[in-house]
Amino acid sequence: MIQKITKEQREEYLGRLTVILAVVRFLLLQGLAFRGHDESRTSSNKGNFLELIDWLKMRDDGAKILLDNAPVQSKGQPLKPAFGIFSAK
């Protein structure tokens, strides 16, 4: 089933994607690993990717709002495809 999304949802998705791709690009250019050994919320070092996302959220209110309001997938639930993201005009 393809879901129709609003223009606002599409813009939020593209904003989150842009932030995440910027972090991925930085880690790749620096040749750094993405994961840590303990990625739990209470860990003091969650790995480069999650640490950079948290660092960015502390310094950019727009990124914090976008990433904190992202839809969350429940454990054990299949990921719903977001085909509507690219077809909404």
Helix (H, G, I), strand (E, B) or coil at 68: helix
- Residue 19 covered by a domain: yes
Residue at 26 is within a domain: yes
Q: Mind listing the pLDDT tens digit for each residue in 26-69?
A: 999 999 988 877 767 777 778 899 889 999 999 999 889 988 88
> Would residue 15 count as lying in a domain?
yes
User: Is 47 inside a domain boundary?
Assistant: yes
Q: How many domains does the chain have?
A: 1
Quote the CA–CA distance of 2 and 55 in Å, as a whole number: 34
The residue segments making up the domain with residue 11 are 7-68
37 contact partners, CB below 8 Å, separation of at least 6: 47
Establish if 50 belongs to a structural domain.
yes
Q: Is 55 part of a structural domain of the chain?
A: yes
What single-letter amino acid sits at 52?
Answer: L
Q: Apex CA 57: angle with CA 53 and CA 63, to 5°?
A: 100
Residue 85 domain-assigned? no
pTM of the model: 0.69
Q: Does residue 76 sit within a domain?
A: no
Residue with tokens 């303990």: 38
